[in-house]
């Protein structure tokens, strides 16, 4: 399993992904699911992946190869002229890889599907965030739906729905994501630290902050320990229920 | 979809279920998913169902028929001598119904599966809570796992995990369930009010409180409206994140 979230803020974007992969509970590993391409002054692109690891690694490798081989005639993520074109490129690559694996004969139990979040900005355009489906098509975040989640999305969704604000600071956005990730990590063994984080400030055309939150991070521990108490306090401040008023 | 929760408290049990059923988003109905059998002084049994509606209705009808036809030789939920026997009876009935439907020829897309929560107390035994699987086998709630959810369980789970306390009052337990249901209702169109509630006080051997919370209930509205603000306050009281300390 996996959990990745991309938040679209007025003044930029924040990305967070976990690093746990598993094929059964007795076969777990740590793999990076966040990838980036930065050309300062020209573009900053972040990709996060969920789904079949062979598929997502193949997609990233193909995107990387095309970046490196200058003579390669394929369109490159570094040459695309807009974030829309980047999304088309990633979608096409994803669709190709899945089709390739699927026709290889033997069927896997869980399929070769994957879902990808792509966000960033290219000079001359706005910062944009896309969610790309296994079929290669995609949707874009908007003011109405300002964040996307992929992987194990349900446990961490209520707090995002209630507390997200497109004008919140980057600090608050990272904190919000940590609460959402903590709820998910507590409930699903397939999602775990370390967490990769990237913060992109609109129009900077460079990565502003990129770091990893390790399993023993003291701030994460403070959030994780504090949230239970904070929730119970919040619960206590809601109006009390009175059974005697409802009984028949 | 469906959402039902049974809470096992030291001094009793609280049951809550929604009433929304759907076969596609354009085919929704309201159906009761909570059923009960009370013989004051002898037993109080509550059943909640999730899954294929034809299956769950058939199970409940079979249990009902066996209760009503005194000459019927089948074991009856009113004659079972312990909650364990009730769980076995419900499990066998569920397994039979599914097997019956499954061999009827044409396969349905989504299968005929269902999951059932059974809780209650029979004179001479403790109050007990079981979760019954489509295969007819079951597990029992314990001090380590003091509540069971069926249906759309993920959105409403984090608050239960964080705020449940086996010694909480019935009033607080109902309030906690309402918060959990509100998070689920906000996220999944297949779960909705009205909500059915039953409260069973240990050793009372009768139903102590049974009522329905309607869509326009003012207390539910107060919880639903208040929880967003309470969460944001709780979030605000967590230690602040400082990006500058994490940047590379």
Task: Note the pLDDT of residue B66.
Answer: 80
Is the pLDDT at A101 greater than 90? The verdict is no
- Which domains does chain A possess? 3-238 (3.60.20.10)
Which residues of chain A are within 8 Å of residue B197 when distances are taken between CB atoms?
A: 246
Is the pLDDT at A232 greater than 70? The verdict is: yes
Contact between A228 and B154 using a beta-carbon 8 Å cutoff: no
User: What average pLDDT does this structure show over A187-216?
Assistant: 95
| Distances A193 to A12, A17, A18, A213, B246 between C-alpha atoms, Å | 24, 9, 6, 7, 16
CA dihedral angle for residue A174, residue B176, residue B127, residue B62, rounded to 10 degrees? -100
**B115 near B98, Cβ under 8 Å?**
no
Burial class for B45, CB neighbours closer than 10 Å (0-12, 13-18, 19+): buried
Three-state SS at A54: helix
Range scoring the smallest mean pLDDT among A28-42, A67-81, B21-35, B122-136? A67-81
Give the closest of A226, A234, A246 to B239, CB-based. Answer: A226
Is residue A106 scored above 80 in pLDDT? Answer: no
pLDDT value, residue B166? 97
Q: Which residues have CB under 8 Å from A90's CB, separation 6+?
A: A47, A59, A63, A77, A116, A118, A132
Contact B222 A239 (CB under 8 A): yes
CA angle in degrees (0–180, nearest 5) for A184-A31-A201: 70
CA distance B87 to chain A (A): 27
ipTM entry: 0.89
CB pair distance less than 8 Å for A227 and B234:
yes
Tens-place pLDDT, residues A162-177: 999 999 999 999 999 9
Among candidates B172, B222, B240 on the partner chain, residue whose Cβ is nearest the Cβ of A171: B240
- Chain segment B180-200, per-residue pLDDT in tens: 999 999 999 999 999 999 999
Chain B residues touching A243 at Cβ < 8 A: 170-171, 174, 199, 209
Task: Give pLDDT, residue A107.
Answer: 62
Minimum mean pLDDT among A222-236, B72-86, B116-130, B175-189: which range? B72-86
DSSP A239: P
**pLDDT for the residue numbered B108:** 58
Assess contact for B1 and B105: CB atoms under 8 A: no
In which band, very low, low, confident or very high, does the pLDDT at B29 lie, cut at 50, 70 and 90?
Answer: very high
DSSP, res B144: S
Q: Predicted confidence band at B149 (pLDDT cuts at 50, 70, 90)?
A: very high
The mean predicted confidence, pLDDT, of chain A is 92
Shortest distance between the Cα of B159 and any Cα of chain A, in A, equals 7
Predicted confidence at residue A245, as pLDDT, reads 82
**Residue in this structure with the two tokens 């306090």, named with its chain if needed:** A233
Separation of alpha carbons B70 and B68, rounded Å = 6
With a cut of 90, say whether residue A185 has pLDDT above it: yes
| Mean local confidence (pLDDT), B65-71 | 74
What is the reported pLDDT for B68?
76
- In this predicted model, what pLDDT tens digit does every residue of A34-80 receive, in sequence order? 999 999 999 999 999 999 999 999 999 999 888 776 666 556 899 99
C-alpha to C-alpha distance for B196 and A62, rounded to whole angstroms: 54
Q: Is the pLDDT of residue B139 over 90?
A: yes
The residue assigned the tokens 């997609």 is A59
Q: State both tokens at A24.
A: 């059964």
- Does the pLDDT of residue A117 top 90, yes or no? yes
Q: How far apart are the C-alpha atoms of B127 and B125, rounded to whole Å?
A: 7
Q: Which two tokens stand for residue B139?
A: 């597990």
pLDDT class of B227 with cuts at 50, 70, 90: very high
In DSSP terms, A115 is beta-bridged to A50
Residue B23: what pLDDT? 84
Q: CA A166, CA A94: separation in Å to the nearest integer?
A: 30
Minimum distance, in Å, between the CA of residue A75 and any CA atom of chain B: 31
Place B75 in a pLDDT band, splitting at 50, 70 and 90: low
Averaged pLDDT for residues B66-92: 84
DSSP string, B45-87: EEEEEEE-HHHHHHHHHHHHHHHH-TT--S--TTT-SSHHHHH
Mean pLDDT score, B172-177: 97
Q: What is the pLDDT of residue B74?
A: 59
CA distances from A97 to A31, A60, A145 (A): 19, 10, 29
Cα of A179 to nearest chain B Cα, Å: 8
Selection from A31, A100, A30 nearest residue A62 by Cα: A100
Number of A–B residue contacts, CB under 8 Å: 142
b (16+ CB within 10 A) / e for A180-203:
bbbbbbbbbebbbbbbbbbbbbee
Distance CA A25, CA A8 (A): 33
pLDDT value at position B146?
97
The pLDDT assigned to B67 comes to 77
Residue A171 is nearest to which of B208, B222, B241, comparing CB atoms?
A: B241
Residue found under tokens 């439907």: B101
- Count of CB atoms situated within 10 Å of the CB of A23: 11
Question: Which of A187, A197, A219 lies at the smallest CB-CB distance from B158?
Answer: A187
Name, in order, each residue with C-beta under 8 angstroms of B69's C-beta and a sequence gap of 6 or more.
none
- Per the DSSP assignment, residues forming a β-bridge with A49 are A116
């Amino acid at each position: 399993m996996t959990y990745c979230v991309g938040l679209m803020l007025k003044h930029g974007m924040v990305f967070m992904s976990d690093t746990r992969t598993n094929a059964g509970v007795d076969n777990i590993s740590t793999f990076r699911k966040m990838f980036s391409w930065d050309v300062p002054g020209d573009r900053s692109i972040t990709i996060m992946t969920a789904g079949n690891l062979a598929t997502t690694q193949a997609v990233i490798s193909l995107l990387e190869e095309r970046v490196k081989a200058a003579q390669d005639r394929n369109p490159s993520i570094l040459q695309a002229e807009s974030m829309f074109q980047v999304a088309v490129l990633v979608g096409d690559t994803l669709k190709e890889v899945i089709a390739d694996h699927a026709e290889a004969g033997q069927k896997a139990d869980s399929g070769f599907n994957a879902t990808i979040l792509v966000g960033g900005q290219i000079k001359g355009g706005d910062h944009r965030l896309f969610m790309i489906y296994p079929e290669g098509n995609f949707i874009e975040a908007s003011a109405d739906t300002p964040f996307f989640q992929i992987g194990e999305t349900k446990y961490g969704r209520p707090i995002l729905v209630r507390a997200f604000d497109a004008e919140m600071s980057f600090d608050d956005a990272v904190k919000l994501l940590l609460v959402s990730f903590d709820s998910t990590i507590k409930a699903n063994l397939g999602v775990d630290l370390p967490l990769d984080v990237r913060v992109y400030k609109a129009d900077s055309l460079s990565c502003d902050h990129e770091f990893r939150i390790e399993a023993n991070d003291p701030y994460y521990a403070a959030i994780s320990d504090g949230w239970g108490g904070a929730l119970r306090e919040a619960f206590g401040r809601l109006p009390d229920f009175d059974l005697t008023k409802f009984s028949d």
